[in-house]
Structure 1
């Protein structure tokens, strides 16, 4: 029985989409029915990154020859990943024009640009998004990497629902406004931005998911701390803002927000000694107090959100953030996820009295400060927890999930939860498989024994232990 020939076209075309086109052509040997099936597939994937092409000409031929033999009716998905191939911008224009001609619905245009190459040759070899693409009304999904945006007319993406821009150049406030005005059905907007000195205004009534990640393409950029972010999205359900901080963040209308992820860090986020050298917001790296104030701006505007994730890689930033946010209650937060590299996460929990689910991830970049020694004195930390944490916090808590890389800084906190959370139902404890032998609690076996010996006020509380 020829099971391959019996597969429906939809399954075969999906298989084709998972392979680069030069491998799809080779599937003709698998079955008689597959002999010419690749010539009508609506999914065209020209990915150079996993190929064995030695020259740009070989890659160019691997794209052009299948397109010349293609005899389909409509292109549903079209992907071009040029890898590090340079000087083929004219060919890419032809390929994108081909996709538009056949009313492409999903277009993935990815390029890899070497930083040195960019610095030496400037904008000449960077691919500029062609003007005709801005009028491609058939698009529903568009993902663009390492390309330059310059819009001369109006954007006509009337059916576009998802837009991803990674390392986009020329993504200014004006360009984003043109895109949003010309995309009335856009629901998902993902942006990873290199040009951090530019402010953004996101105003859209259709957006449901918004992710903004900012970072520097070089340490010489000193203008990023002057940028501002303003958001007016009444139907937004998920918001992620990560990376380097804005000067101001104003969320003017996010009334439908359900999930929020916030994470601002210093440039040298994994080296704590740089936090002492941060000198302000006037053209230099932001101080921890500045970042604390930034969180203070944001948290009041998302106090209605039920699922919050707070990410911080900077020890001093987290401390300043807690000091400034304690007066900002978040009564509706029912699920809180915190990824911190230190133990000061406790302060953020105090603002969520109705919390039901708590997820804590403690990484291995724990700074070697004196507090680590004091944390090993369980009695002192336990007394501090009982003094600071209100009992209202633990009344509704049902689930706690802990991911621990190293150290035993969480055990006093877990002991407090077991003693006071009377409705606790489940504790999931994960620990890294290979641990430093200097910390006895890093052994999963010893950690589980230690936790199981702790008194529990909830008889329904159950433990799950695992390694990762």
Structure 2
């Protein structure tokens, strides 16, 4: 009797409906899914009917460079044994360089997924040319042409895959598309947008486009564009970014290798993330020889990227949630000095990546956000603030400054330069309810104990205009509240 009760308890997993079990299996690599045949009679053939096929070769422990044959044999055998009704999700991730000869097998797998009316397809075909940015394209996996006429697709992710389209795109049900690759031309993007009438989410990360890019779609609600690797050609090529998306709600633009950026009819925007990225790949000394001056990652002189940032920022002033990365704080300063549309009357949540050493500049810029309720600050430079005790700074600010601010979140990586800024915020935010203080791991940071002790003692000594303000510390290095 005891044995019977124990067996029944141990087999509760098998009593779950197939739909729930299949969701659990989706979280496992296919090698583990196949091993479930040993659990019970019911599980013996269950894996062959799962609509979720996850072939991640690292998770499957098939990640040696000499194991292409082993990987191919496993995937091919698994697909031969599969006899389900349809494939809802198909995922293949290669985390090491594959031989060119394996690409024909990948095409067969894509064809298999299409025949079984796949809805969510995820392809990540690792390539040295892509990850190393060495300019080679011949050994990169090219997406097969027949994929562009897959009517069942609803979600598609293509990473490290080259794309070229010779005919029409017929993705009539596609709602989410993520492309992250070495080569993506503007013509390909145009063809994709024409053939995706229901596309709502479009994430585009690319390296090799030296031309103007146009995003025109009435269905898009979320758009992310990241030119994550800038070349010297980008600095001297006149190119434009045009975005016409009347129903867009979320926009992210990073990298910005464009001399001109036009956002047309984006009044539906509620969330925007803007910033530079990729400049760390450009050699500063070589750039100086070309007559370009670096200032904290932002070009001056031939400052087309600064101009582009200005164009974008002045177009998103109606947005409620704004995140500004890296050099945007300097662009705000230029706009304010020129009195060019320097007010952001609707912004309620603002995230800034900034240098805490420029605390006076940051405080002055916050004046143009009169309705700000949430402020998130993250430091981006090594600290050079020396005075840890005398934190005295008086700013000539209006009485209404930060009157609506309720929450402040600060990420602390190193040093003590953020203290003067925090002192001003506590002094003027009369309705502040909570400050969250996160300590991140950094080679420049003091020891965890001394850094938290110093921060807590310093903050407790600061005067606060809000009697209800609560300060919480969070040590991210230990992933626990302190």
**Same fold flag (TM > 0.5):** yes
1:99 and 2:129 matched: no
1:138-161, Cα deviation, whole Å (9 max, x unpaired): 000000011121111111111100
- 1:254 Cα offset (Å): 0.9
User: What is the total number of aligned residue pairs between the two structures?
Assistant: 451
Q: Secondary structure at the match of 1:353?
A: coil
1:18-46, Cα deviation, whole Å (9 max, x unpaired): 22222211110112211001111111112
| Conservation of the 8 A alpha-carbon contact between 1:278 and 1:287 | no
1:134 and 2:148 matched: yes
Match of 2:333 in 1: 322
After TM superposition, the structure 1 stretch with the greater mean CA deviation from structure 2, 58-67 or 241-250, is 241-250
Which structure 2 residue ranges, 5 or more long, are not aligned?
A: 1-7, 477-482
After TM superposition, the structure 1 stretch with the greater mean CA deviation from structure 2, 196-205 or 432-441, is 432-441
Return the alpha-carbon distance in structure 2 between the equivalents of residues 272 and 330 of structure 1.
Answer: 34
Return the alpha-carbon distance in structure 1 between the equivalents of residues 26 and 147 of structure 2.
Answer: 22
Match of 1:410 in 2: 418
Q: Which residue, out of 21, 26, 32, partners 1:17?
A: 26
Which structure 1 residue ranges, 5 or more long, are not aligned?
A: none
Return the alpha-carbon distance in structure 1 between the equivalents of residues 70 and 283 of structure 2.
Answer: 44
Match of 2:322 in 1: 308
1:298-342, Cα deviation, whole Å (9 max, x unpaired): 112111100000110x5xx74355223553211100110111244
- 1:111 Cα offset (Å): 0.6
| Conservation of the 8 A alpha-carbon contact between 1:111 and 1:146 | yes
- 1:441 Cα offset (Å): 11
1:449 and 2:460 matched: no
After TM superposition, the structure 1 stretch with the greater mean CA deviation from structure 2, 122-131 or 228-237, is 122-131
- TM-score normalised to the size of structure 1? 0.88
Return the alpha-carbon distance in structure 2 between the equivalents of residues 5 and 311 of structure 1.
Answer: 49
| Conservation of the 8 A alpha-carbon contact between 1:162 and 1:189 | yes
- 1:184 Cα offset (Å): 0.7
Match of 1:215 in 2: 228
- TM-score normalised to the size of structure 2? 0.85
- 1:294 Cα offset (Å): 2.1
Q: Secondary structure at the match of 1:226?
A: coil
Indicate how the Cα distance of structure 1 residues 356 and 121 shifts in structure 2: closer, same or farther if over 3 A, else same.
closer
Match of 1:4 in 2: 13
Match of 1:174 in 2: 187
Match of 1:340 in 2: 354
1:253-294, Cα deviation, whole Å (9 max, x unpaired): 11111110011146227998888677359xxx9724443322
Match of 2:345 in 1: 331
- 1:456 Cα offset (Å): 1.7
1:412-461, Cα deviation, whole Å (9 max, x unpaired): 22222222221111111122367757799962122112111212221111
Match of 1:45 in 2: 54
Indicate how the Cα distance of structure 1 residues 439 and 144 shifts in structure 2: closer, same or farther if over 3 A, else same.
closer
Return the alpha-carbon distance in structure 2 between the equivalents of residues 163 and 461 of structure 1.
Answer: 43
| Conservation of the 8 A alpha-carbon contact between 2:129 and 2:139 | no
Over aligned residues, Cα RMSD in angstroms?
Answer: 3.0
| Conservation of the 8 A alpha-carbon contact between 2:200 and 2:220 | yes
| Conservation of the 8 A alpha-carbon contact between 2:175 and 2:199 | yes
Q: Secondary structure at the match of 1:309?
A: strand
Return the alpha-carbon distance in structure 1 between the equivalents of residues 34 and 390 of structure 2.
Answer: 66
